[in-house]
């Protein structure tokens, strides 16, 4: 059964147990999906004659969030799979030089995958934040606080994902790739929090 098809209680029990999965990366993906669902809800509740002028934009935002939720689900599963892949590489034999080389290559490939998955999550969180920002001024005021919650959740998920990146970067031997990931991480951090702040400021202004 896919993780997204389990109950909330089951997921929390597993996350709180001594099992290494679902770990922080998977939890971040779930939080991101919850954030996207809030933006989608706001868009869905900004429909009808009263919002005719902005309905098309809201519908487009809902469609983008629906797609994002599906991607977040895939990234949750990918995060768990990347851990399993790394553990499998660790268990490879290392008795001969050939085995050591094969194991080393497998570990590097697993480390790259374990870094790329949270990077993809952070990128997608930024995209979702950008979409959320486009509806802040015109969304239904009765649910505008939910858009602020969406922004807070998406930023938290992105920050969490990038902590996972920081955890994995030291294990990468490809210095060029490592440097590229670090640069992108910094760029994402520099974009995500200001965008969240922008959305929350808009929300608070409309709540006043």
The rounded percent of the chain whose pLDDT value lies above 70 is: 100
- Asked if 32 and 72 count as a contact pair (C-beta separation under 8 A), the reply is yes
Predicted confidence at residue 1, as pLDDT, reads 66
Residue 199 has pLDDT above 70, yes or no: yes
What CATH number did the domain enclosing 113 receive? 1.20.120.680
What is the average pLDDT across 79-96?
A: 93
- Asked if 47 and 58 count as a contact pair (C-beta separation under 8 A), the reply is yes
Residue 10 lies in a domain: no
Predicted confidence at residue 5, as pLDDT, reads 81
Predicted confidence at residue 195, as pLDDT, reads 98
Hey, is 199 helix, strand or coil?
helix
Tell me how many helices (H) and strands (E) the chain has.
6, 0
Residue 30 lies in a domain: yes
What is the average pLDDT across 145-151?
A: 98
Residue 14 lies in a domain: no
Give the total number of structural domains in the chain. 1
Residue 13 lies in a domain: no
Residue 44 lies in a domain: yes
* pLDDT band per the 50, 70, 90 thresholds, residue 206: very high
- Asked if 193 and 155 count as a contact pair (C-beta separation under 8 A), the reply is yes
What is the chain's mean pLDDT, rounded? 96
> Rounded to a whole number, what is the largest CA-CA distance in the chain?
73
Residue 16 lies in a domain: no
Predicted confidence at residue 69, as pLDDT, reads 98
Residue 3 has pLDDT above 90, yes or no: no
Q: CA 110, 112, 118, 121: dihedral to nearest 10 degrees?
A: -110
Predicted confidence at residue 193, as pLDDT, reads 97
What is the average pLDDT across 183-194?
A: 97
Question: What contacts 123, CB < 8 A, 6 or more positions away?
Answer: 188
Residue 80 lies in a domain: yes
Its domain, for residue 84, covers 21-207
What does the pLDDT look like over 88-138, one tens digit per residue? 999 999 999 999 999 999 999 999 999 999 999 999 999 999 999 999 999
CA-based angle 197:126:192, to the nearest 5?
Answer: 35
Closest CA to 199 of 124, 141, 144, 157: 144
Element (H, E) at 47: none
Residue 189 lies in a domain: yes
């Amino acid at each position: 059964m896919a993780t997204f098809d389990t109950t909330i209680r089951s997921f929390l029990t597993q996350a709180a147990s001594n099992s290494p999965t679902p770990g922080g990366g998977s939890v971040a993906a779930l939080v991101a999906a919850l954030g996207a669902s809030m933006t989608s809800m706001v868009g869905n509740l900004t429909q009808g004659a009263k919002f005719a002028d902005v309905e098309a934009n809201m519908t487009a935002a809902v469609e983008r969030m629906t797609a994002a939720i599906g991607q977040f689900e895939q990234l949750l599963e990918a995060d768990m799979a990347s851990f399993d892949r790394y553990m499998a590489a660790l268990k490879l034999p290392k008795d001969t030089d050939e085995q050591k080389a094969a194991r080393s290559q497998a570990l590097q490939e697993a480390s790259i995958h374990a870094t790329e998955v949270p990077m993809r999550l952070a990128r997608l969180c930024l995209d979702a934040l950008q979409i959320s920002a486009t509806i802040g001024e015109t969304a239904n005021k009765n649910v505008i606080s939910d858009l602020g919650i969406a922004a807070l959740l998406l930023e938290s998920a992105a920050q969490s994902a990038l902590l996972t990146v920081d955890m994995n970067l030291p294990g990468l031997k490809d210095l060029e790739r490592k440097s590229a990931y670090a640069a992108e991480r910094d760029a994402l951090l520099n974009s995500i929090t200001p965008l969240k702040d922008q959305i929350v400021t808009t929300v608070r202004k409309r709540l006043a």
